[in-house]
């Protein structure tokens, strides 16, 4: 792994941004639950980041704020990212003001969409973010130049349009990386479900297209995965960061496994 400059402490937004931009391998976790206590536990396990899902997750802004605070607690190895609900300056600015080390912006279809996302993250003259880092100032910035260095913006590639324009998207000035939303992307290329095996070959080809475009542009390439083994596979293929999903699914899986074990002897009804 690339050595961090001496002034950058591991686990800080500045260190995370430097590693992500250097295309170093990073592993994160995905959270959809408004449960700061469990999110705090996850942040201490060794993940590089915890991503809070404010688009499809069960987390409102108060929950995002509480969970970002929990992620930053003593013993945490992770920074907090937020998948915002839309490519709009308001939710992007609110997530950053609450202390997010970066945003994952959904439904990026074009270079203009990507440029709009970057502009919402950067202060003038580089962008149009309004200044008011209510909580963020405690850890990120607060001066605009420092905030730019310590905050990342990631564009989701999950539509047919985004895939078609991925090279132009990756070339967008100020964009730190792209992030594959596999469920939407699989449907976008013709899948009848988010896991349709009939389009497996097309899906794998799309992933090659995305990570090749990112590599050519020198930016990070990330992907959402269902478990650690899948994350390891994608990193080995050339993705530079991978997210393991997610707390709600894993809670159900573990509870189901324990129930099956308890009933295995036949003593329980």
The total of other beta-carbon atoms located within 10 Å of residue 103's CB is 26
Q: For residue 13, which of 88, 84, 103 has the smallest C-alpha distance?
A: 103
- pLDDT value at 87 more than 50: yes
For 1-20, how does the pLDDT look when each residue is reduced to its tens digit (9 = 90+)?
445 655 677 789 999 999 99
Q: What is the pLDDT of residue 1?
A: 43
Predicted confidence at residue 3, as pLDDT, reads: 53
Count other C-beta atoms under 10 Å from residue 216's C-beta.
11
pLDDT tens by residue, 157-168: 999 999 999 999
For the stretch 247-269, pLDDT in tens is 999 999 999 999 999 999 777 67
Our answer to whether residue 61 is catalytic in this structure is: no
pLDDT at 180 over 80: yes
Instruction: Give the pairing type, strands 49-53 and 79-83.
Output: parallel
pLDDT of residue 7: 63
Are the CB atoms for 29 and 92 separated by under 8 Å?
A: no
Return the pLDDT at 11: 85
Task: Determine which one of 56, 148, 165, 250 is catalytic.
Answer: 56
Give per-residue pLDDT as tens, 220-246: 999 999 999 999 999 999 999 999 989
């Amino acid at each position: 792994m690339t050595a961090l400059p001496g002034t950058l402490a591991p686990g800080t937004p500045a260190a995370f941004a430097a590693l992500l931009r250097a295309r170093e391998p990073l592993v994160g976790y995905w959270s959809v639950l408004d449960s700061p206590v469990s999110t705090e536990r996850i942040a201490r396990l060794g993940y590089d980041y915890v991503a809070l899902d404010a688009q499809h997750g069960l987390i409102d802004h108060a929950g995002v704020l509480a969970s970002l605070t929990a992620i930053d607690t003593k013993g945490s190895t992770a920074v907090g990212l937020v998948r915002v609900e839309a490519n709009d300056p308001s939710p992007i600015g609110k997530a950053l003001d609450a202390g997010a080390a970066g945003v994952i912006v959904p439904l990026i279809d074009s270079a203009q969409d990507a440029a709009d996302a970057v502009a919402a993250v950067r202060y003038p003259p580089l962008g149009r973010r309004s200044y008011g880092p209510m909580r963020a100032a405690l850890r990120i910035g607060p001066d605009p130049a420092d905030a730019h260095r310590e905050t990342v913006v990631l564009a989701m590639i999950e539509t047919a349009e985004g895939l078609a324009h991925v090279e132009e998207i990756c070339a967008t000035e100020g964009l730190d990386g792209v992030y594959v939303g596999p469920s939407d992307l699989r449907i976008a290329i013709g899948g009848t479900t988010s896991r349709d095996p009939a389009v497996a070959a097309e899906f794998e080809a799309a992933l090659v297209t995305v990570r090749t475009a990112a590599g050519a542009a020198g930016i990070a390439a990330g992907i959402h995965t269902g478990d650690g083994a899948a994350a390891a596979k994608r990193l080995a293929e050339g993705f530079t960061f991978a997210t393991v999903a997610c707390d709600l699914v894993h809670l159900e899986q573990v509870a189901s496994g324990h129930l099956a074990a308890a009933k295995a002897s036949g003593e329980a009804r």
